[in-house]
Structure 1
């Protein structure tokens, strides 16, 4: 499993950072979802390993005030692999910031499986926080995350962002 998450690598590549929120409606061209980003997003696709499963993940992210808002999407060969894949995504992200999970909820019905997690950790001596929503539907998997310095994360912004994520 990659030591550094795709979200963190993408954030490092983003050059513009503004403390102002500039909400933008984003509709993915390669996966059926829409979301509001608080800044101009950038996208990158690369192959990643989720435990024993290799997938091509497209990560679209915006960074505002040191906080990353990202959606990762990928397709697994078999829908039955989805729940394990989203668990692996969650585990990788939590471990990347050396975090402890403070809240973890999961649900499943006939259509999809979801995980919601909140974790706190530290990176380079700074308190970090991760809020994530993970979805497995059919052969598609998604991670919708907010991650950054705990002191810079605004709860209203998190709620707006996560609440705007819709599968088409």
Structure 2
């Protein structure tokens, strides 16, 4: 196994959870460590451990970040992001898996504050609506309001592939 400190990219495992009875809504978490907290909602998941498959990482992050044990379904999208010199972030390949639909009333348990930290890793879980419709109730939280544009694009592409049964190959949320 190669030394993970010298890897040129970091794979991750993410999960798409859709709200049962509300097919236009997806689950997203808000990390406390984000540079832009207002637009930081993202899919549940994160980086793999050395030698860990992305599907296993997706299940591990789902349990740690929400307390949920859901079956990790098929791979719906691969989204490649570029390295960022200013932050030291490596190239990332996000593996986005289908975790199905979650019924209302199922408790979401965000992780507690880790020892030595001032804030927990995640601030909240929220259902985000993919697109605006005139029939939406006041206070509806929309994907475009709370995500960076590429995050919203890879979430939409994942929902589209879930419906079509395809695999989306993306670069920063854009097919290609």
Q: Same fold (TM over 0.5)?
A: no
Larger relative contact order (CA 8 Å, sep ≥ 6): 2
Query: Whose strand fraction is larger, Structure 1's or Structure 2's?
Result: 1
Which is greater in Rg? 2
TM-score band, normalised by shorter chain:
under 0.3
TM-score by length of structure 1 reads: 0.28
